Amino acid sequence: MPGANLTRVEAEERKSIITGPVGYHVDLDLTKGPKSFPSVSVITFGAKAGASAFVDLIADEVSAIELNGEALDPAKYFNDNRVELSNLKERNTLTVAASCQYSTTGEGLHRSVDPSDGNVYLYSQFEVPDARRVYAVFDQPDIKATFDFEVTAPQSWLVTSNMPVKSTEDLDAMTAEGTLGTHPAETTRRWVFETTPKMSSYLTAICAGPYAEWHTDYANEDGRTVTMAQYCRQSLKDDFAKDVDYLFDITKKGFAFYARTWGVPYPYAKYDQIYVPEYNAGAMENIGMVTIRDSYVFGSKVTDALAERRVVTVLHELAHMWFGDLVTMKWWNDLWLNESFAEFMSTLCTAEATEWKDSWATFTSGEKSWALTQDQLPTTHPIAAPINDLHDTEVNFDGITYAKGASVLKQLVAYVGRDEFFKGINSYLNKHQYDNATLNDLLVELEAASGRDLKTWSSQWLEESGINTIAADVKENADGTIRSLTLTQTAPSDHPVLRAHRMGIGFYNFDAATGKVVRTDRIELDVDGETTIAAAAEGRKRPDFILPNDDDLTYTKLRFDDKSREFAAEHLFEFGDALARAVVWLAFWDMTRDGEFPAERFIDLSLKMLSTEHESTTFRYALSCLKATATHYVDPARREAVDRHVAEGLWTLANKAEAGSDEQFQLVTAYLSYGTEGDAPFVSNVRALMDGSLRLRGLEIDNNLRWALVKALAAVGEMDDEAIDAELRRRDTTENREFAYGARAARPTSEAKAWAWDAAIRDTSLTNSQLEAAALGFSGNLTGRLAEPYAAKYFETVDWIWDNRTFHMAESLLNDLYPAYGDSAELVRLGDEWLAGHADAPRALRALVIGNVESSRRSVKVAAYNATLR
């Protein structure tokens, strides 16, 4: 859809033409059937007289176009997802009547049918921009406008939008048969919403359906009462009711923390959070009505990591109400202004205003590790990335934009001072409220507040790609004191930028009284250029361990001095501070990925750490990296033995873990991914857990864990499709259907893999979540003979997927179907051939392929290093 891929040049040209206030009246009718809905947009706008422009619209059909009282032929003026406008006046009125399509891919207006009760749920998702899938619109962030929404829906439904309801009216008309799935036709209701403040189109939202609802109020810092609501599907209401008061409380703590920190009260009329099914992202910051994936409604036991992630997500989206919504980037190159800031602030708020006090350790393990991985790919980009078109934007919702950006903001706070930083944020929000801004606008306010020149800082940190490495070297005197502590900074050859860092250096020693490694001293300094001497360390007693980047203030790879590295490799499990453990463990993981630390030693280090680790995200990520190391980085001749060693280690730890603990739950779940065909002990353990003949004290086999056991048995050929279908009949829900797709796709037969491949790629009846489940089930255990056909098949199918699926679905398929557990060298060979033959392919498509191929290239390199250690 070429017209759907708006370029920056086109956006700038259109912005120069659309000059005056813009207002929309959007009328949607959601009663006409399960496939499509009527949409009528009336747009009033100013323009340069005599100029031409266009509005964006992705629709099945346009029935009428009227510009300034003149009817235009849709066959002539609606082409390539655009309505062309010519000979504009200084003030214009445009009316477009269209038939738009519901999606099942999480883009535009998504329609989901809950199989447990037949209820239909609708929700919108408009970022990057997909408002044009629902109504005609100038769909770019810097043409802000006011919006009036009217929605006709079945009488029993609830409809929500960005603003409070202005009025409702019951109508005599009947809904079309089938609109409500299994329910009969019924009368309708028209919902009219109050006019929005000036805002960007991608932040508008409509949700509709028989959602369960809860309400409360918040006494806003400006004296207003802000109404608050939470919504979810009826089938989830009993589970959600257990958490709704907690989530209201978390949200209110966020309101107070942000208003206090920035000096700007919450600016909008209401604040709704609606938990919706089959959601592609974690959540979306629609003004006044945040949509959140309803996998965050917990009906089964979840890890503490996921419970904390829900809190961070709630606070992330709330932060956007100020940063991204009240003040919005002019173009998507400043997407980081939204996401990095919200990620940084939500972590800060979680750590300082909630019970999750170790949230910065969570950030280091879960988010910063993501950034380090992506920043070492050829596809890395500056935080403030050049964005030529919308496809460039879509692939930039990544670890650089979110996690590296947030890490760099943490460094900036250390660099300019916390009080000065937030004083600048206050000025920025007040000066640009209800408008658009750029990176330079932000830096102007931060410079004024801090007195620091941030142009060099911005050039180094925001406008250049890549990550530095800081290595420590220690020279000792004969009496055990430090003669010199030198920090050496290097940069990769393709991004040769040395940066200025504000950094802590921690001195850690084993404390015999507590049995813990604790910090006994700390210095802080500026690190700049290639070599920095830590003069304040000279003459101090050499500690057991020296930690550069103590408190994780900056963003860098770390290399320890030799004595510190050896001490940490043996004693990491005894470190008492969660953040210090996370920083040290991440450095060892990075060394392992770079082929500088033996894979099997890293595995043993991690297993030992897991015996005492209680920070849930660090625990979760350690388990994930254990799997990656055993599968990809260990000497191939040793992988089968190492797999058994890890599985046995996890099972032993699970049996020793505290009853009912998060660690016990994570260990059992991780163990389930280590089964192989013919592994009798594994099959015996899983079957016994499932039938109850084996019980780990405190471990409940609830719905989700039972499905994890089902998938584990299916993956080793111990459960066929009929047995999986029987499990689904026990409780047919949206979530369980997804679990069933994943289990069928995991079966280790050529027939199951062929079915999963074809279903994921060609079966357009699958929802986005079902597609993802099938694709991940397909690739999760695709090894050996099963993997052989799919290396070539993958690269033969890349172009078809890109050309025939929406971006989000193409991204999921190209990542989730990649046969990463196959022959890495063959994947590299075929991938390089594809890339050489597709030099002119869209940058976004090449980025997806390069990311996968580079992971295989690293596997080849690191496995070869470990093979030399025999």
Q: What is the pLDDT of residues 434-459, one digit of tens each?
A: 999 999 999 999 999 999 999 999 99
Is residue 676 domain-resident?
no
User: Could you give the percent of the chain with pLDDT greater than 90?
Assistant: 93
d(CA 773, CA 759): 11
Rounded to an integer, the average pLDDT of 676-696 is 96
Q: Check residue 391 and give its pLDDT.
A: 81
What was the pLDDT predicted at 386? 83
| pLDDT tens-digit map of 388-416 | 888 888 777 888 999 999 999 999 999 99
CA distance 22 to 143: 8
Can you tell me the distance from the alpha carbon of 612 to that of 657, in angstroms, rounded to the nearest whole number? 10
Q: Is residue 2's pLDDT more than 70?
A: no
Rounded mean pLDDT of 455-467? 94
Residues 331 and 422 occupy one common structural domain: yes
pLDDT digits (tens, 9 = 90+) for 469-495: 999 999 999 999 999 999 999 999 999
> CA 198, CA 142: separation in Å to the nearest integer?
11
* pLDDT band for position 142 (cuts 50, 70, 90): very high
Let me know whether 434 and 544 are in one domain.
no
Please name which of 533, 480, 483, 531 lies closest in space to residue 505, comparing C-alpha atoms.
533
Residues 532 and 443 in one domain: no
Residue 466 domain-assigned? no
- Helix or strand or coil: residue 766? coil
Q: Which of 837, 797, 840, 838 is nearest to 819 (CA)?
A: 797
Helices assigned H by DSSP within 675-733: 680-691, 703-715, 721-730
Joined together, the tokens standing for residue 113 give 């049918």
In terms of DSSP H, where are the helices of 557-638?
562-571, 578-593, 599-610, 616-628
pLDDT tens for 288-319 read: 999 999 999 999 999 999 999 999 999 999 99
Residue 289 included in any domain: no
What would you report as the CA-atom Rg of the chain, rounded to the nearest whole angstrom? 28
Residue count of the chain: 870
Residue 784: CB partners within 8 Å, gap ≥ 6?
none
Task: Supply the pLDDT for residue 337.
Answer: 85
- Predicted confidence at residue 88, as pLDDT, reads 98
Mean per-residue pLDDT, 735-753: 97
Catalytic residue among 127, 278, 317, 615: 317
Strands (E), 81-186: 82-85, 91-101, 108-113, 120-125, 146-154, 158-161, 165-174
CA angle 280, 284, 289 (to 5 degrees): 130
pLDDT band at 1 (very low <50, low <70, confident <90, very high): very low
For 556, other C-beta atoms within 10 Å of its C-beta total 23
pLDDT of residue 182: 46
Listed residues 164, 189, 210: the one ending a domain: 210
Helix, strand or coil, per DSSP, at residue 525: strand
Helix (H, G, I), strand (E, B) or coil at 690: helix
Strands, sheet with 206-209, edge to edge from the N-terminal-most edge strand: 108-113, 120-125, 206-209, 158-161
Structure tokens at 463: 């406008």
Is 492 a member of any domain?
Answer: yes
Regarding whether 170 and 107 lie in a shared domain, the answer is yes
- How far, in whole angstroms, is CA 667 from its chain's centroid? 24
pLDDT at 703 over 80: yes
Domain containing 794 equals: 749-870
Phi, psi of 450 (to 5 degrees): -100, -20
Token couple for 467 = 């990550």
Cα(283)–Cα(276) distance, integer angstroms: 9
Taking the C-alpha atoms of 6, 8, 10 and 12 in order, what is their torsion angle to the nearest 10 degrees? 140
Instruction: Give the pLDDT score at 870.
Output: 81
- Distance separating alpha carbons of residues 37 and 101, to the nearest angstrom: 6
Mean pLDDT computed over 651-678: 97
- Whether residue 440 lies inside any domain: the answer is yes
How many structural domains are present in the chain?
4
Residues 408 and 441 in one domain: yes
The pLDDT tens digits of the residues spanning 43-100 come to 999 999 999 999 999 999 999 999 999 999 999 999 999 999 999 999 999 999 999 9
Residue 721 one-letter amino acid: D
Q: For residue 826, indicate whether it is catalytic.
A: no
Q: Which of 439, 461, 483 is the last residue of a domain?
A: 461
8 Å CB contact between 343 and 406: yes
Beta-strand (E) ranges in 155-245?
158-161, 165-174, 187-193, 206-209, 212-219, 225-232
- Domain harbouring 412, CATH code: 1.10.390.10
Per-residue pLDDT tens for 92-135?
A: 999 999 999 999 999 999 999 999 999 999 999 999 889 999 99
Residues 4 and 84 in one domain: yes
Best CA proximity match to 672, nearest among 727, 703, 710, 698? 710
Single residue among 410, 439, 461 that ends a domain in this structure = 461
Q: Do 435 and 490 have their domain in common?
A: no
Domain identity same for 204 and 101:
yes
Mean pLDDT of the 418-441 span = 96
Q: Which of 134-143, 250-259, 409-418 has the lowest mean pLDDT?
A: 409-418
Q: What percent of the chain has pLDDT over 70?
A: 99
Residue type (1 letter), 326: L
Q: Is residue 306 part of a domain?
A: no
Is the separation of the CB atoms in 806 and 110 below 8 Å?
Answer: no
Contact 543, 520 (CB under 8 A): yes
Pairing state of beta strands 270-276 and 225-232?
parallel
* Residue 736 CB coordination number (10 Å): 21
Q: Is the pLDDT of residue 385 over 90?
A: no
Mark whether 456 and 374 lie in a shared domain: yes
pLDDT at 130: 95
**What CATH number does the domain containing 206 carry?**
2.60.40.1730
| Cis-peptide, bond into residue 395, ω within 30° of zero | no
Confidence of residue 806 (pLDDT cuts 50, 70, 90): confident
Instruction: Give the pLDDT score at 180.
Output: 54
Pair 456, 577 in one domain? no
> Does 480 share its domain with 360?
no
Instruction: Tell me the three state secondary structure of residue 177.
Output: coil
Q: Are residues 444 and 565 in the same domain?
A: no
Residue 770's identity, in one-letter code, is Q
Question: Is 631 inside a domain boundary?
Answer: no
Rounded to whole angstroms, how far apart are CA atoms 722 and 732?
15
What pLDDT is recorded for position 184? 65
699 confidence band (pLDDT: 50, 70, 90): very high
Q: Whole-number mean pLDDT of the chain?
A: 95
Residue 491: what are its φ and ψ, rounded to 5°? -135, 150
Query: Is residue 612 assigned to a domain?
Result: no
